[in-house]
Structure 1
Amino acid sequence: MSAAGLLLIEDTPSLQMVYESVLAAAGHRVRAEADARSGLAAFRTEPPSAVLLDLMLPDRNGLDLMAEMLAERPEVPVIVITANGSINKAVAAMRAGAHDFLVKPFDEARLLNAVENALAHALPGLDAANAAPATGQGQSGPLGAFIGSSEPMRAVYAKIRSVARSMATVFITGESGTGKELCAEAVHGVSNRATGPFVPLNCGAIPSELLESEVFGHLRGSFTGAIADKQGAAAAADGGTLFLDEVCELDLNLQTKLLRFLQTSTIQPVGATRARKVNVRIICATNRDPLDAVRRGRFREDLYYRLHVVPIHLPPLRDRGEDVIEIAEHVLARYAGEEGRAFRALSEEVKARFRRHAWPGNVRQMLNVLRNVVVLNDGAIVTAAMLPADLQPDGRPEAGGLVRAAPRHPALPLDDLLGRPLAEVERRVIEATLVLHGGSVPRAARVLDVSPSTLYRKITAWGRAED
């Protein structure tokens, strides 16, 4: 570590002695103080490489002390320490700029891992949240693959930049099709981990019995079908970012193991007898209400608080104003180039319809609409007659353009189902539900009260049977 050393501010003498001993044995130089006044004085006279700060101090609120420290030296990572019953204070500290948090009691491995991560990703003399983004865009401009400069999205970009240098877990919410994976990639892209791997994992698309292996890996012979060692997503993301999409779909048993992973930064592949340490930042996402999943007993409350540290909510497309047109024009140019078409602009009538449309499928729906237009039509200007049926008045195509009719919500009279094989009835009900919900598997799964992974498996099996 650097010569500056660590600053430990802990008012309990026995704990101060234990932490100092563990850190010193690992080769760290530590200066320990017992209250906020002496801790702040040490921070100013002997600037540390990182701070370990107990939030319960005898002479001052730990959050206020951290805020003053970060105002003076925002590049110094602060690891906050709190009691088990005060995890909400730790979450508040993370949102205020802390690098990581430790909940008492924690073990030696967790303490050393938090310190090593903080030191490895500190930016000397520079707050990464204020650093110029790698995309070369302005401080308030779009990040990564995002398009749009509306006020709601500028707030999203600002939050991404502010959390970039931290190890805080980011929890992304938003409707299906709003770009949650793009958001996760943007956080990774402007963080100190940008040169490391970004590993996405859709928890809803993997059968529950295989999820543990997908996340943590397995050894050959550990279960039927394990014909070779497999590296899990957590190990693949070592040094980078692990993105857990549809995290609320995780099996409760795996939620317990994920919580242990977050607390210890160690993984144990299926069939392994020893755990190994990895250095991974977690970003997760869901289109559900995570608190509702907690209330229903489908998501562990302690895991929710561990993950829901820095929430980022992505606004639906209908709330993004002129972003609708900006995205449409950008995508039109890209698709026209890919398909060898001459399109270069949207007509004013098309722009007006795009602004009025509710876009229940958000950006993903717009991509489908424009792909449909570009594939089935040609010309310099996209006209209203070229739009699919769901963007026509009363849902009917206008004359004069070659369009593909959008699927209607199919009626399923009972008489049509009676006398048919159960497998066919099941398939027709599932397909009708998918159409009703714009092709969204997670939404259809909620209506049918099954896991999205169940629907993904059935859809894949139907596709194989038809090949």
Structure 2
Amino acid sequence: MSRTRSRESAHILVVDDELSMCELLEILLSEEGYRVTSSRTGRKALALLKEDHFDCIICDIRLGDLTGIDVLKAAKETDDKVPVIMISAYTTTELAVEAMNCGAYDFVPKPFDNAELKQTIVRALQLRNAAGIPESALIGREVEQTLHFGKLIGNTPVMLKIYEMIRQVANTTTNILITGESGTGKELVARAIHEESGRRDHPFVTLNCCGIPETLLESELMGYRKGAFTGALHDKKGLFESADKGTVFLDEIGDLSPAIQVKLLRLVQDKVVKPIGATEDIKVDVRIVSATNKNLETEVIEGRFREDLFYRLNVIEIRMPPLRERKEDIRYLAQHFIEKYSRQMGKQIVKLSSYAVDLLNRYDFPGNVRELENLIERSVALSNTNIILPDSLAIATHKKLHRRRWIEGVKNRRFDLEDVKNGVNIDAILEEIERAYVEKALFFAKGDRQKAAELLGINLRSIRYRIEKLGLSPRARMAEMEPPEDE
């Protein structure tokens, strides 16, 4: 790896009371070309801050003598521009908020991902070297550099293929069927096709096929003539006539009734419409793009969707992937929504904390990009720091996903929740729960750490850290444990 001048000259202070963590960070960061100084006590760190200059500080929240907050405050008094990255295996929302309010750059949980930590350091140093440019502007620039296509955001391989397909089909007259789960951005693809085509200066008209009663759908699609029915006081153009020379986007096409499917088939084949009450057909020039979250092939087999219409609409299919298949894009999408809703709400929220990013990456997002957007909007509204912390996200994801499992786990291990009124040691309880899950995973994996990590949904480095922290020996614990009662 080539070492840039900025990396060779960057001096990083590591403050952690664990020798192994200091040694790990010294090796990790030295390999990246940084100069590293470490301290295992808060008081020594304070002395180093007076003696030397540091470009970045990585500090544990919990130290043997002082707290990481003490070091953070001292660092900011010495140099208010120095980025301080707080790390911890044990923390509370109150501590995280206090750290952010005292000027921490980010909050990273242990065990951390090495690559993610290194990237956090790179961004922190870029901010320090940006000569007064606000961090929000730097992050916005990074998002802008992420590949876009229209309003689509993402640079994962699957999105790059979609961008290329949009370019290929845009200037054809071929009908397009966009498939994918709800919330994946199918309408954005349809708009991108329209904007990339020669029809861009003409109307783009959208109809949600399941959002209009069937009794009104025909008049919306085809239009009507004055006097065609009670209430028809004047002529009205239908959707297809209004979109002449442009694009019609039919969303949720799989929800059309059989009667409307028949009328749509003729329009797709002959490109003519006959308004209700009219005596003559009207020729229209439209590009039809349809979308569905259903499997139309199954709908055809089961008789709910016309086979001839299916083949007319599905000349070219573009499949939008669910968000769980493009998780590398989550951070950029989230940042885009942070900027959007911060502007709308008049807030100065800059980014997600590293812990919050990790939480999002672990969530499957059944509602896809739409759910992510709603989640970020809610988090911006709830956040009381300039960085979105996991607590804001927990309301929508972490608690919803894990609350029931945690409660069941506590009950299975006979923890009495009524004991809370008499006072409890929550750290000890959580450590016991963690120990029980790690031990059980090691048992089922027959001591294989990689398999145990997969069972717990964590990586190998993470389970190694937990085994060391909890003082577990995988094979010894496997031998000691009795088989589970349900086997």
Q: Deviations over 1:415-462 (max 9, x none)?
A: xxxxxxxxxxxxxxxxxxxxxxxxxxxxxxxxxxxxxxxxxxxxxxxx
1:299 to 305, 308, 329: 305
Aligned-residue Cα RMSD (Å) equals 1.8
1:364 to 366, 370, 373: 370
Cα offset, 1:389, TM superposition: 2.5
Aligned residue for 1:277?
A: 283
Question: Are the counterparts in 2 of residues 222 and 271 from structure 1 also a CA contact under 8 Å?
Answer: yes
Aligned residue for 1:116?
A: none
Question: Are the counterparts in 1 of residues 154 and 329 from structure 2 also a CA contact under 8 Å?
Answer: yes
Whole-Å Cα distance in 2 between the matches of residues 371 and 388 of structure 1? 13
1:338 aligns with 2:344: yes
Question: Are the counterparts in 2 of residues 164 and 190 from structure 1 also a CA contact under 8 Å?
Answer: yes
**Taking structure 2 as the reference length, what is the TM-score of the superposition?**
0.52
Aligned residue for 1:243?
A: 249
Cα offset, 1:250, TM superposition: 1.1
Cα offset, 1:226, TM superposition: 2.1
1:387 to 390, 393, 400: 393
Aligned residue for 2:193?
A: 187
Residues 393, 376 of structure 1: alpha-carbon distance in 2 compared, 3 angstrom cutoff: closer
Q: Deviations over 1:23-65 (max 9, x none)?
A: xxxxxxxxxxxxxxxxxxxxxxxxxxxxxxxxxxxxxxxxxxx
Q: Any idea what SS the aligned residue of 1:199 has?
A: strand
Cα offset, 1:396, TM superposition: 6.5
Question: Are the counterparts in 1 of residues 375 and 396 from structure 2 also a CA contact under 8 Å?
Answer: no
1:196 aligns with 2:227: no
Q: Deviations over 1:185-224 (max 9, x none)?
A: 0010101111111000001101011111000101122123
Cα offset, 1:331, TM superposition: 0.8
Whole-Å Cα distance in 2 between the matches of residues 367 and 225 of structure 1? 41
Q: Any idea what SS the aligned residue of 2:260 has?
A: helix
Whole-Å Cα distance in 1 between the matches of residues 157 and 401 of structure 2? 31
Q: Deviations over 1:324-358 (max 9, x none)?
A: 11100111011111101111011000000111100
Q: List aligned pairs for 1:308-327, cutoff 5 A.
A: 308-327=314-333
Q: Any idea what SS the aligned residue of 2:245 has?
A: coil
Aligned residue for 1:230?
A: 236
Q: Any idea what SS the aligned residue of 1:223 has?
A: coil
1:328 to 334, 337, 341: 334
Whole-Å Cα distance in 2 between the matches of residues 156 and 378 of structure 1? 38
Cα offset, 1:393, TM superposition: 5.0
Aligned residue for 1:158?
A: 164
Aligned residue for 1:263?
A: 269
1:376 to 360, 382, 385: 382
Cα offset, 1:392, TM superposition: 1.9
> Relative to structure 2, which stretch is displaced further, 256-265 or 357-366?
256-265
Structure number with bigger Rg: 2
Q: Any idea what SS the aligned residue of 1:312 has?
A: strand
Q: Is there any run of 5+ residues in structure 1 with no aligned partner, and where?
A: 1-137, 398-467
User: Which amino acid in 2 is paired with 1:327?
Assistant: L
Cα offset, 1:228, TM superposition: 2.4
Cα offset, 1:173, TM superposition: 0.3
> Relative to structure 2, which stretch is displaced further, 223-232 or 271-280?
223-232
User: Which amino acid in 2 is paired with 1:332?
Assistant: I
Cα offset, 1:386, TM superposition: 1.4
User: Which amino acid in 1 is paired with 2:202?
Assistant: G
User: Which amino acid in 1 is paired with 2:188?
Assistant: L
Question: Are the counterparts in 1 of residues 178 and 319 from structure 2 also a CA contact under 8 Å?
Answer: yes
The sequence identity of aligned pairs, in percent, is 43
Q: Deviations over 1:257-297 (max 9, x none)?
A: 11111121111101100111111010000000011111121
Q: List aligned pairs for 1:415-454, cutoff 5 A.
A: none
Q: Deviations over 1:107-140 (max 9, x none)?
A: xxxxxxxxxxxxxxxxxxxxxxxxxxxxxxx9x9
> Relative to structure 2, which stretch is displaced further, 338-347 or 382-391?
382-391
Cα offset, 1:374, TM superposition: 1.2
Q: Any idea what SS the aligned residue of 1:387 has?
A: helix
Question: Are the counterparts in 2 of residues 235 and 278 from structure 1 also a CA contact under 8 Å?
Answer: yes
Higher helix share: 2
Question: Are the counterparts in 2 of residues 342 and 378 from structure 1 also a CA contact under 8 Å?
Answer: no
Question: Are the counterparts in 2 of residues 141 and 157 from structure 1 also a CA contact under 8 Å?
Answer: no
Whole-Å Cα distance in 2 between the matches of residues 142 and 372 of structure 1? 25
User: Which amino acid in 1 is paired with 2:149?
Assistant: L
Aligned residue for 1:351?
A: 357
1:175 to 152, 160, 181: 181
Cα offset, 1:375, TM superposition: 1.5
Whole-Å Cα distance in 2 between the matches of residues 346 and 324 of structure 1? 11
Q: Any idea what SS the aligned residue of 2:153 has?
A: coil
Residues 356, 196 of structure 1: alpha-carbon distance in 2 compared, 3 angstrom cutoff: same
| Aligned residue pairs, count | 260
User: Which amino acid in 1 is paired with 2:285?
Assistant: N
Whole-Å Cα distance in 1 between the matches of residues 287 and 336 of structure 2? 32
